[in-house]
Structures are given as structure tokens and as C-alpha cells.
Amino acid sequence: MAQVPFESPIGNGVPFVISGSTTPGHLDFTLMGLMTGTFEPGGSVTLSGNAIVHAAGGSAVEITGQLLGLHTRLSPLFDYTGQPRIMANQFFSNILTPTGLPIEHWNGPALSGGLLQTDPLRPVEGADTLTAPFNFQMEIPEGAADGVYSLWLDTGSNIEVGSLGGPRPHVNPFMTNHALAFPPFTIGPAISPHLIWTLLTDVPSADGSRGTESADNAANFQVANRIATQAHHYVIPRLSKATGQEVTYRLEPYLPMVAHGDRYIPNVPNIAFKFPSGTLTVRVIRPDGTVDALGSAPFTTAAIRTPASSGGCRST
């Protein structure tokens, strides 16, 4: 999964450029415009801009005049304390029992939602591309709690004409029931968002655990891998059972609540990071107490991938 360079829209508001492919027809589209609104309980959010769709060769005439309609919903990202709060907790959870076991849950009712619909699509001369303006407004419920929220775009569409390339894997909305996120916004006073960090999440331990969360997050987040209950102590093998050779482990951390996947292409990240930024510092403490400082470096990129098997194979 890669981010393609783009020019940010100019104007009053928060700019956005999001691209995806409709299901089941696989019509590639881009929405670009500005987000404005009154970000408070009882207020509203407005998205306005232009849609661009790319039809398969010679197919533009078939969808000329049609309206591209995509359902949009309001969902939380972080609560007022900065802790992540999303609509679905699957294979992990920030809802825990008193003893620290993760409680998974599927989506609850949408806080608010509506149909983002374009004007009639019009062809661009000399290209298999069509464009149309759109203006969409969503009401924020009166009882919306303080925190960070985002509008999410469901890519389901009744337009059956696809783009060049025909049927192909699409972004997996299974984990979140939505595929594409608009820029986040804050309602009321809220602490700066806190990201959940894990380590070695794609490495199965000797007892079946999948990675380990940071000490700071242990009271608010746990992995639920549905194979074994996460152990209080995470132990990884020094030697490979298959080859008997020493195993090399990557120490880059994971952000499991930013992009979701279930043995398939992960969801598009719900937060767009600006690189290079931040700092990663790695220190390894040996059994005898010796500390190996491996250095510090800024984060330069983000990779999105599904867990690996013991043989190193991935589903993506």
C-alpha cells in the first residue's frame, strides 16, 4: 500500500484528497476538496469538492449522467483523555475485564450518517475520466462526547462499470465496516491523542501470544488473537525450530489500531502521518543488566502488513 503524491486543495477549510475503488464494480475514484464545519455537539461537518472517476476504456459513456453515491458515517477515534476509541474492536480491544482480558465487540449504531452524492458525472474530453462536484453536510449529535472524530466513507456503490484492470482485491472493510477516512476533527476540550504501541506483533511466541504491548498501555489495551490468551510474560525463541539457526527480529514498533486487517489487505490507515517526524530510540537490556543502546532515528515511513507465519509467509 503506497501514498501517491498529490497537490493539496487550496481554500478555507481543512483540505483532503482520498482515493479508493468502489465495490463490487471496482470503479477507481478520487475525492478532493475542503472540510469545514461547526465542530461541537449539535453542529455540523461539511465536505465540498470534486469527484474524479476513471472508467475502463470506452466505458465512460455508460456512466455519464449517473450519480456517484457513497455512504458516510461519523465515528470516534479518541476520547477526551486521548485514549483510542473506535467503533469496532476485533483481534484487539481497549475494553478490558477487571482482570485485564480483552473484550472484542462489533460495530454499534452509527453516531450519524448520510449519503455523500455527486452531481451527474460528466466526461472529460479526450480521456476515460469523468468528474462532478459534490457538497455533503452531516449533523453532529447533540449528545456527542468530547474527543477526536472522523467521517468514514463506505466504498459500496451500485455503479457496475469498473476501471481498467477489471476485478481485483479491494481494500478490506471487514474490520471497521468503512474503508476511507476523512481528516480528523476535535469536539470540545480534549487531550492530545495517544497512540497504542506494540512490539513483535507479527511474531508468534512459544505459547501462541502475538506481540507485546508497552507497559504504559497494558491497563488500556490487549491483543486478542483468538488462539491463545496473551501471556503476562512474552517469550520468543532464540533459535528457529525449523533450521536451528538464530532468529533475527525486527524492533520497529506497531500501531495496531491505525490500520486493520484479517488475513487480507489491511484497511487504509485512519491517520495520515507526516514523515520524517518523531524519534525511535532502541535500548536492549541483557539478562546481566547490560544495556545496548542501538541509537535513535526519526520515523521515515510506515509499512502496513498482515502477520507472518512461522515460515515468514504473509497473506499480503
* pLDDT tens column, 223-232: 887 777 777 7
Q: What is the mean pLDDT of the chain?
A: 83
| Distance separating the N- and C-terminal Cα atoms of the chain | 10
Higher pLDDT, 263 or 136: 136
Among 28, 5, 40, which Cα is nearest to 165's?
28
CA–CA distance, 268 with 258 (Å, rounded to integer): 8
pLDDT in tens, 247-264: 888 888 888 888 766 665
Given this model, what pLDDT does residue 138 score?
95
The residue among 81 and 2 whose pLDDT is bigger is: 81
Q: Is the pTM of this model over 0.75?
A: yes
At residue 175, does pLDDT exceed 70?
no
Confidence of residue 316 (pLDDT cuts 50, 70, 90): very low
**Interstrand relation of 69-79 and 122-123 (parallel, antiparallel or unpaired):** unpaired
Of the segments 32-41, 236-245, 300-309, which one has the largest average pLDDT value?
32-41
Task: Tell me the DSSP string of the chain.
Answer: --PPP-PPP-SSSEEEEEEEE-BTT--EEEEEEEEEEE-STT-EEEEEEEEEEEPPTT-HHHHTT---EEEEEEEEEEETTS-B--S-B-SEES-B-TT--B--B-----SEEEEEEBSPPEEPTTSSEEEEEEEEEEEPPTTPPSEEEEEEE--B-S-----TT-S------TTTS--EEPPPEEESS-PPP----EEEEEEE-TTS-EEEE-TTTTTT-EE--SSSPPPSS----SB-TTT-SBPP-----B-TTTS--SSSSPPPPSSPPPSSEEEEEEEEE-TTS-EEEEEEEEE------PPP-TTS----
Give the residue, 177 or 223, on which the prediction is more confident.
223
Q: How far apart are CA 71 and CA 84, in angstroms?
A: 24
